[in-house]
């Protein structure tokens, strides 16, 4: 191997391969496309083989690139673990779990989904809330151990992740005390008269809610739409309108937000998924989050 070989060059190649193109990698790295391209070419020169080839508007791995990518995956996975290893060596050992949470996911449900790991001794839990697509990018770069979302990851040959269904839960409608009586009167047709709050199309469940309204021949009186589920509940509890939420958090919802259940949203469910990156060794706490396999 040439003495010009650099782990920095390898890292840029790794990001380009993950992102499937120079432009997307440059955006992820916050660098100019030309800079990233130059660094990758330097790696190819030092190794003596082409690692990438054109593929449509992006790039694909050559045979040599596939071999280099396998090694890069192992190297940078170990690199991600280094700070925790050093910290544990000089202090009390901790078990670190970095979770990405889709901003459309109900936050009260997230706590229930994480319950299997909450009793882990010396747990250090880091939660990052962001848009679904950005979380998948961070997961592929091993900045996250797992992503919790309301949908499975879309097929992408350049994004080596897997999706595991955690189950689904029925939805119901909830109202602040000031709107409860009016919402109950003639429910669910009352939703065309009382103010209604909905998640935006950012949430996977929004399509199912729209289909439910269509089946029930209801034209809802929508006065607000929210990307963040906690914000939706906050405005609903303040009296702005009635809103949908999973039955799982009914007790917590009625106590914390002082709202009342109006009725079921028949046939509509919220789906939950754990999404992880392909690794040779799966994080032990991520394994605990997944249902037992039959």
31 pLDDT above the threshold of 80: yes
**Domain segments of the chain as ranges:** 7-77, 78-167+273-289, 168-270
- Between CA 73 and CA 91 the distance in angstroms is 28
pLDDT digits (tens, 9 = 90+) for 165-202: 998 989 999 999 999 999 999 999 999 999 999 999 98
Q: Give the predicted TM-score (pTM) of the model.
A: 0.65
140 pLDDT above the threshold of 90: no
C-alpha distances out from residue 132 to 69, 169, 183, 215, 225, Å: 25, 20, 33, 29, 18
Three-state secondary structure call for residue 200: coil
Residue 89's pLDDT is what?
67
CATH number of 168-270, picked from 3.40.50.2020, 3.40.190.10, 3.90.1150.10, 3.40.50.2300: 3.40.190.10
Look up residue 19 and give its two tokens: 């992102």
Taking the alpha carbons at both ends of the chain, their separation in whole angstroms is 47
Confidence bin at 72 (pLDDT 50/70/90): confident
pLDDT digits (tens, 9 = 90+) for 201-237: 989 999 999 999 999 999 999 999 998 888 999 999 9
pLDDT digits (tens, 9 = 90+) for 229-255: 889 999 999 999 999 999 888 888 888
- Between CA 140 and CA 269 the distance in angstroms is 28
CATH code reported for the domain at 7-77? 1.10.10.10
C-alpha distances out from residue 129 to 147, 229, 240, Å: 10, 12, 25
Look up residue 285 and give its two tokens: 């706490």
Report long-range pairs for 232-235 (Cβ below 8 Å, ≥24 apart). 232/197, 232/198, 232/199, 233/257, 233/259, 235/197
Going by CATH, does the domain composed of 78-167+273-289 fall within 1.25.60.10? no
β-pairing, 195-199 vs 221-226, is parallel
Whole-number mean pLDDT of the chain?
A: 87
Same fold, 78-167+273-289 and 168-270: yes
Residue 245's pLDDT is what?
92
Once rounded to an integer, what is the mean pLDDT over residues 259-272? 94
What is the Cα gyration radius of the chain?
Answer: 23
């Amino acid at each position: 191997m040439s003495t010009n070989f650099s782990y920095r060059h390898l890292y840029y190649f790794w990001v380009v391969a993950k992102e499937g193109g120079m432009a997307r990698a440059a955006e992820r790295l916050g660098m100019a496309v030309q800079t990233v391209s130059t660094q990758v070419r330097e790696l190819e020169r030092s190794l003596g083989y082409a690692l990438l080839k054109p593929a449509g508007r992006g790039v694909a791995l050559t045979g040599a690139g596939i071999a280099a990518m396998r090694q890069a995956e192992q190297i940078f996975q170990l690199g991600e673990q280094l700070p925790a290893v050093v910290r544990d060596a000089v202090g009390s050992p901790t078990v670190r779990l970095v979770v990405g949470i889709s901003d459309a996911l109900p936050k009260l449900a997230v706590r229930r989904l994480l319950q299997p790991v909450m009793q882990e001794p010396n747990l250090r839990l880091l939660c990052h809330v962001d848009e679904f697509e950005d979380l998948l990018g961070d997961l592929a770069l091993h900045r996250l151990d797992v992503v919790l979302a309301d949908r499975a990851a879309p097929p992408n040959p350049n994004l080596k992740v897997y999706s595991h269904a955690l189950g689904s839960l029925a939805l119901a409608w909830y109202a602040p005390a000031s709107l409860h009586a009016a919402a109950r009167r003639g429910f669910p047709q009352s939703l065309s008269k009382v103010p209604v709050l909905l998640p935006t199309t950012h949430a996977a469940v929004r399509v199912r809610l729209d289909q439910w309204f269509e089946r029930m021949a209801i034209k809802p009186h929508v006065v607000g739409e929210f990307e963040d589920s906690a914000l939706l509940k906050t405005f609903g509890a303040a009296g702005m309108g009635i809103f949908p939420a999973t039955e799982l958090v009914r007790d917590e919802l009625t106590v914390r937000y002082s709202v009342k259940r109006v009725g079921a949203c028949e046939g509509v469910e919220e789906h939950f998924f754990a999404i992880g990156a392909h690794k040779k060794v799966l994080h032990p706490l991520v394994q605990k989050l997944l249902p037992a396999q039959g």
